[in-house]
Amino acid sequence: MNQTLVVVVLFVGAMATLPWLVRRLQQRRAGVGTAGSSTSRGLSAVAVGPQQRVVTVEVGPEHARVFLVLGVTAQQINCLHVLPSVASHAPTVTSLSSGGASFSREIATAISSTEKSSDG
């Protein structure tokens, strides 16, 4: 009788810990995928109809990020446009967003470079 009770208690304990163990293994497996920095991020979604959206997603490894503009419907997903990483344009964007003084400096630089190229 005692042996049967011990087996039943161990079986019930194993069944109770099984969901926790499965969840733990799934989290570890997902963690391995993010270690390579190749995660994707949904940046924006705009509804253009009852079941249609235009979604912008950032994908790829850290050194070669790409932005995808996707058309998403209930039946399919279409790639509408592929945008290169913003890293090459980052100094201009950050300087424009940092304040009015740097914005006016950027405009002056753009105007002077335009004037120089039209003169020569």
DSSP string, 71-107: EE-SS-EEEEEEE--GGGGHHHHHHHHS-HHHHHHHH
Report yes or no: 43 and 54 within 8 Å, Cβ to Cβ. Answer: no
User: What pLDDT shows up at residue 100?
Assistant: 55
Q: Give the count of alpha carbons within 13 A of 94, CB side only.
A: 6
Residues of the chain with pLDDT under 50: 37, 88-98
Write down the pTM of the prediction: 0.43
User: What pLDDT shows up at residue 86?
Assistant: 61
User: What pLDDT shows up at residue 42?
Assistant: 84
Show me where the domains of the chain are located.
Answer: 2-84, 89-119
The span from the CA of 73 to the CA of 71, in Å, is: 7
Those residues with Cβ within 8 angstroms of residue 95's Cβ, 6 or more apart along the chain or in another chain: 102, 103, 105, 106
User: What pLDDT shows up at residue 6?
Assistant: 92
Report yes or no: 52 and 73 within 8 Å, Cβ to Cβ. Answer: yes
